[in-house]
């Protein structure tokens, strides 16, 4: 059953799309979905043929986070063990996304609330339909953010705005999210699927090792000191300078043609 709740598709260019598939429940996570999502991410992370990963939702929503009906039932049983298990899985999903060599895009087609918003924030880049809305809605049910929200949101919008969004739990639209720095791009809804596909294809056509090192370097630079960033640049540039893809990129530039980068291991 949970296999149907997480749909996957890999195109010929190595773009893997993961679709959360509970549209009638706004793609809220039910038991088994977190495990399946983690399995898919782990598999793609180890597959050099996967050049880019897109996470999106079926129907009108991206993801509403946790299933509140299920959580209320756990409260009735005074059960925190399942909550702890779910949070452990969420932690592993976020860490896997951050640690993957491939770029991971959140394609936010509609509402992203609670854990669903923070899943989107954990991705390397976020593209949204102009129908998307976002809400750190945990406070509305008396809970604190999870799925990495306490780290992810302040990094993007600063502490004061993160406080407001988390303490008020108000919805913000796509244009506001773009202005705050939560999104890379907003597209008209009717053009959204095509725009996401084109964006993902551009990433998939890039040099995989270089993109992996850029991803690693950006997160290191956001977290560590300038000295650490400079040391990373020195070490990494030396390592990839003589790679096949670096040679191809420079020759293509000199020859005034588009480069044809190879997949790792080819």
Report whether pLDDT(1) > 90. Answer: no
Report whether pLDDT(265) > 60. Answer: no
- Secondary structure of 209-260 as H, E, C letters: HHHHHHHHHHHHHHHCCHHHHHHHHHHHHHHHCCCHHHHHHHHHHHCCCCCC
| Domain extents in the chain | 2-204, 208-254
Mean pLDDT of 67-86: 84
pLDDT classification of 3: cutoffs 50, 70, 90: low
pTM score, whole prediction: 0.93
Report whether pLDDT(96) > 70. Answer: yes
What's the pLDDT at 41? 98
Main-chain dihedrals φ then ψ at residue 9, nearest 5 degrees: -150, 135
Mean pLDDT of 180-190: 98
CATH class of the 2-204 domain in this structure: alpha beta
The Cβ-side half-sphere exposure at 176, using a 13 Å CA radius, reads: 11
What rounded mean pLDDT belongs to the chain?
94
- Report residue 136 as tokens: 């750190």
Mean pLDDT of 219-242: 94
Which of 42, 152, 155, 144 is closest to 92 using CA atoms? 42
216-229 pLDDT, tens digit per residue, is 999 999 999 999 99
Alpha-carbon distance of 102 to 46, in angstroms, equals 10
């Amino acid at each position: 059953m949970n296999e149907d709740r997480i749909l996957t598709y890999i195109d010929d260019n190595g773009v893997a799309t993961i679709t959360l598939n509970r549209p009638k429940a706004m793609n809220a996570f039910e038991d088994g979905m977190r495990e399946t999502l983690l399995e898919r991410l782990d598999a793609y992370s180890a597959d050099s043929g996967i050049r880019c990963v897109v996470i999106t939702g079926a129907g009108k929503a991206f993801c509403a986070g946790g299933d509140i009906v299920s959580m209320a039932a756990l409260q009735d049983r005074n059960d925190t063990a399942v909550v702890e298990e779910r949070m452990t899985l969420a932690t592993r999903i976020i860490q896997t996304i951050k640690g993957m060599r491939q770029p991971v895009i959140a394609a936010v087609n509609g509402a992203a609330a609670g854990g669903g918003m923070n899943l989107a924030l954990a991705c390397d880049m976020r593209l949204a339909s102009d129908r998307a809305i976002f809400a750190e809605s945990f406070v509305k049910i008396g809970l604190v953010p999870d799925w990495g929200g306490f780290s992810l949101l302040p990094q993007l919008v600063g502490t004061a705005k993160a406080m407001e969004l988390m303490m008020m739990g108000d919805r913000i639209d796509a244009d506001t999210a773009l202005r705050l720095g939560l999104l890379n791009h907003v597209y008209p809804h009717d053009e959204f699927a095509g725009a996401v596909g084109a964006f993902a294809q551009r990433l998939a056509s890039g040099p995989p090792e270089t993109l992996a090192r850029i991803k690693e370097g950006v997160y290191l630079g956001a977290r560590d000191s300038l000295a650490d960033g400079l040391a990373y640049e020195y070490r990494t540039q030396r390592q990839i300078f003589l790679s096949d893809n670096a040679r191809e990129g420079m020759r293509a530039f000199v020859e005034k043609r588009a480069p044809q980068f190879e997949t790792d291991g080819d």
